[in-house]
Amino acid sequence: METMNVKDFYFDLPQELIAQDPLEDRSASRLLGLDKETGEMEHRVFKDILSYLRAGDCLVINDTKVIPARLFGEREGTQAKIEVLLLKRRENDIWETLVKPGKKARPGTVISFGGGILKGTVLDVVDEGNRPIQFEYEGIFEEILDQLGQMPLPPYITHQLKDKNRYQTVYAKHDGSAAAPTAGLHFTKELLKQIEEMGVKIAHVTLHVGLGTFRPVKVENILDHHMHSEFYIVEESEAEKINSTRREGGRVICVGTTSCRTIESASSEDGVVKAGSGWTDIFIYPGYKFKALDCLITNFHLPESTLVMLVSALAGREHVLAAYGEAVKERYRFFSFGDAMFIH
């Protein structure tokens, strides 16, 4: 059994390999093929994913939509600048939020956005310093958010995003994420059409990605890490696409770690995916036995992150670190707007 020390998942990543801007053409990113049994690698471009797929396979995609959850407002009375990040929708227009600077947002504080189009009252301070805020507005909340909010890009992306839609997959449908399921950003509508025409099923699941995705593992023994929870939905029709693929001997290929966490959470021990919805805080690390997933399309992740641990659970830590070393040497682009890997 491998030891579970966070240091085992460290690799040296030059800062300049972090992709700051998305490519003009989504499917022009590079693709590193990794054989999970042998560790053998191939350098391709993303469109070549077609040559890895076969009729009878099922591609599982996460159709969540990122909400422009970063709001910049001012405190009524003092005009002090306050930034609010929406984390979770509660009932009656109450959202759990992260507020910067927190000391200016004590319970009772009223924050005004967009010259008063939207107002929020801080209700309380809860775990990890999060603050529930009660919002007031006229009209439709989503439309106001679209007008005032910005995309909550990960902390390591410092450039301003020119086009909001580039941090959205082409199949994004259900509002609710604080971050994009980034492996899906490489697909164009044309590429998905070609994949379907090959006889590959496409199953849609939904997992609303939380900001905890970017949280580094701060404990030495990774088994002590507390995973964040995220809400997922699997419809009956989509569970059936995955289950029939398995029955007929096809492969289940997840696009991204979020689709992977969804179907592994919704799956019984013998790999049957059950329709339903709920919260999952599944933490996948080496030693985990995958129940429903066969292959994974994913981006290149942060050193010592839970995502590198998940990928290592599938392909083996040594294979993954060797592939990451190769990616660094070949100057692949890392993280949300970066290149992709296909583990098969």
Residue-wise pLDDT tens digits, 89-134: 888 999 989 898 888 899 999 999 999 999 999 999 987 788 999 9
Q: What is the pTM of this model?
A: 0.90
Place of tokens 């025409």: 197
Phi, psi of 32 (to 5 degrees): -100, 115
> What is the pLDDT, as a whole number, of residue 81?
95
The structural domains of the chain, ordered by start, are 6-66+163-343 (3.40.1780.10), 70-148 (2.40.10.240)
- Tell me how far CA of residue 165 lies from CA of 24, 70, 152, 168, 224, in angstroms: 12, 15, 13, 5, 37
Q: Which two tokens stand for residue 252?
A: 């289940």
The DSSP-derived string for 277-288 is: EEEE-----TTP
- Which DSSP state fits 289? P
How many whole angstroms separate alpha carbon 243 and alpha carbon 114?
A: 48
CB 195, CB 234: distance < 8 Å: no
User: What dihedral do alpha carbons 318, 320, 322, 327 form, nearest 10°?
Assistant: -170
CB 343, CB 315: distance < 8 Å: yes
- Which DSSP state fits 294? -
Tell me the sheet residues that pair with 278: 232
* Residues of the chain falling short of pLDDT 50: 1-2
> What is the pLDDT, as a whole number, of residue 328?
97
> What is the pLDDT, as a whole number, of residue 269?
94
> What is the pLDDT, as a whole number, of residue 3?
55
- Which element (helix H / strand E) includes 32? strand 30-34
How many whole angstroms separate alpha carbon 167 and alpha carbon 40?
A: 31
